[in-house]
Amino acid sequence: MAVVVITGCSSGFGLATALAFARRRDRVWATMRNPADAGDLSAAVEAEHLEVATLPLDVTDGASVEAAVGHVLEVEGRIDVLVNNAGVAHMGAVEVLGVEDARNLFETNVFGQVRMIQAVLPGMRERGEGVIVNVSSMAGRLPGTPANWAYAASKHAAGSLSDSLAEEVRQFGVRVVCIEPGFYATSVTRKGRPLPPASPYRDLEQHVARWMHANVMSGGDPAEVAEAIVAAANDASSPVHVPVGADAFAAIQAASSMTEEQWAAVSRKVYGLEG
């Protein structure tokens, strides 16, 4: 029975992952910024007669991270698996997306993961075992998307973070996995900041936003990503990078087989930049 800490559990991948581990009878600590948002998780837990503990945790706040991780360690004595899932998405062209908006995104998507890792890793290292799962995106394996640079850059950073960390902690028996989902039906596009007003790139930004939202809403079941997370966490032979979803595999393969010019041509067609 593993002790599992998961961030961003109010919806989407985090909620589904908490349920997936709980069904295995693991000790699940589902965290979220605001415990008042735990309604969907609580309803699912009650319906399936599962055991999941919820805990407030804001990954952008070092004191919140220390308090939450400290509480779990006090109760459980250890953390076996960390799932770094909390994430946000803000869109806007480079010229117009505010630096503060981009910084806030990185605080959650990148530095939030680092804070959690730094909080749980000493115990894992001392015990000589543990698994850290960083949830990224296929965007972290692809050339940048117009008007989505901040999100894509944060996911590239999560991938590089995972690569570096995996080599650093291998000697201590700790494993690292970077999950890279394609499009799945989550609330990520609805929870992002509104597009910048009065932007000279408004047509492009709206086109990309509509395209992204349509793909997310028609995407797969987040439970598929949750199952991939559980499987990777329990598979000692798992590679660091784990794409999830047919679209993720196809896009990553296509990007690796195309020249820069070929990919740019496809991108312009998809995002309405031809002409």
Catalytic residue numbers read 151
> What DSSP element (H or E) covers 223?
helix 222-233
Give strand ranges (E) for the chain.
Answer: 3-6, 27-32, 52-56, 81-84, 130-135, 174-181, 241-244
Which residues are within 8 A (CB) of 255 and not within 5 positions of it... i.e. 6 or more apart?
141, 142, 143, 263
Report the sign of the C-alpha dihedral through residues 119, 163, 138, 140, in that order.
positive
Choose among 141, 93, 103, 20: nearest CA to 273: 93
Q: How far apart are CA 83 and CA 66, in angstroms?
A: 16
